[in-house]
Amino acid sequence: MSRTDQHVNTEGSAWKRFWERGGWWRALILVVGYFVLYQGAALALAPIAPSVDDTESAGYVLFFVVLPIFIGGVILILFGLSVGWLRELFGPQPIRGRGWMWIAVAVVLLFNVLRFATIDYAALDFGYVAAWLLAGLCIGFAEELLTRGYVVNLMRKAGHPEIAVALVSAALFAALHASNLLTGQSLFATLLQLLYTFAFGICMYLTLRVTGNLIWPILLHASTDPSIFLQGPHHVDSPLATIAGFGNIPVILVGLLAIIFIRGRVTTDTDAASAVGGTTPAYDR
């Protein structure tokens, strides 16, 4: 019997017991399964898609961005209910972070604020801006619940050290964005996006660690996508806008450098695992 199997809750359905064992390959199965269902939902919506020629309209964002990711979020909630993890995921984290991890939060938040502050709102319709804010909330919820929620939980249930937890959750998060190749994005642009999303994923992991609750990386992520998609093509002409435009570089540097310093492991205990089927108090050197 493996080390992981010894700590699995023997109660509940075979479905729940399967996921309680955790591990990177179960995390991979979950992410691939989510991706297939999410893409399937987007394809199913295609025949009823409204004819919207203006990609900078609220209607376009709501149907082609918000609705598919909203469905993805519902799928993730249903999965959480099926295994009974939602309370566990949105409760206090079993391991807390170090003070230096606030750097990741500060860097991401700083450039999000700079981008929002330098958007040319006069050139944009209010409904379009509001639609992107809603899209950001849906994206942040679904992507963080999947990667910093379920993937992190699966890795910890298998007893992996936190460096592995961070790397796998960030790598799977980045891999989701490789699908942009299918939409016609160039290979070079996609590779740059994978580098950024991997580093951003590390920053979101650090946010989870240092704040102690999944809601904070969700909200920080929710403020990122709208700031990028709104400020990029519609920014005021100012030095601050130029600085904000280079925001991806500090995020990449902080995310990659932080890997060197990530420590800790969520320890497992046979009695506690039998009682709650999950992780137990941790240590962080």
Is the model's pLDDT at 278 over the cut of 60? Answer: no
227's tokens: 């700031």
Q: Specify the pLDDT at position 226.
A: 97
Residue 32 contacts by C-beta under 8 Å, 6 or more apart in sequence? none
Distances from the Cα of 268 to the Cα of 3, 9, 164, 221, angstroms: 10, 12, 16, 30
Q: What are the start-end ranges of the E strands in 221-277?
A: 265-266
Rounded mean pLDDT, 211-233 = 97
Instruction: Tell me which H or E stretch contains 282.
Output: strand 282-283
d(CA 120, CA 231): 8
Rounded mean pLDDT, 105-123 = 97
260's tokens: 């060197």
pLDDT digits (tens, 9 = 90+) for 227-276: 999 999 999 999 999 999 999 999 999 999 999 999 999 986 543 444 44
Check: CB of residue 33 under 8 Å from CB of residue 151: no
Return the SS3 of 190.
helix
pLDDT digits (tens, 9 = 90+) for 117-159: 999 999 999 999 999 999 999 999 999 999 999 999 999 999 9
pLDDT-based confidence at residue 50 (cuts at 50, 70, 90): confident
Percent of the chain with pLDDT over 90: 79
Q: Specify the pLDDT at position 281.
A: 55
Is the model's pLDDT at 7 over the cut of 60? Answer: no
d(CA 78, CA 278): 19
Instruction: Tell me which H or E stretch contains 127.
Output: helix 126-144
Question: What does pTM read for this prediction?
Answer: 0.91
Q: Specify the pLDDT at position 284.
A: 63
* Dihedral over Cα of 47, 48, 51, 55: its sign: negative
Residue 76 contacts by C-beta under 8 Å, 6 or more apart in sequence? 34, 142, 145, 146, 149, 150
Check: CB of residue 208 under 8 Å from CB of residue 259: no
Burial class (CB in 10 A: 0-12, 13-18, 19+), 22: buried
pLDDT digits (tens, 9 = 90+) for 79-97: 999 999 999 999 999 999 9
Residue 6: count of CB within 10 angstroms of its CB: 11
d(CA 110, CA 104): 10
pLDDT digits (tens, 9 = 90+) for 258-269: 999 999 999 865
Return the SS3 of 185.
coil
Longest Cα–Cα distance of the chain, Å, equals: 64
d(CA 167, CA 176): 14
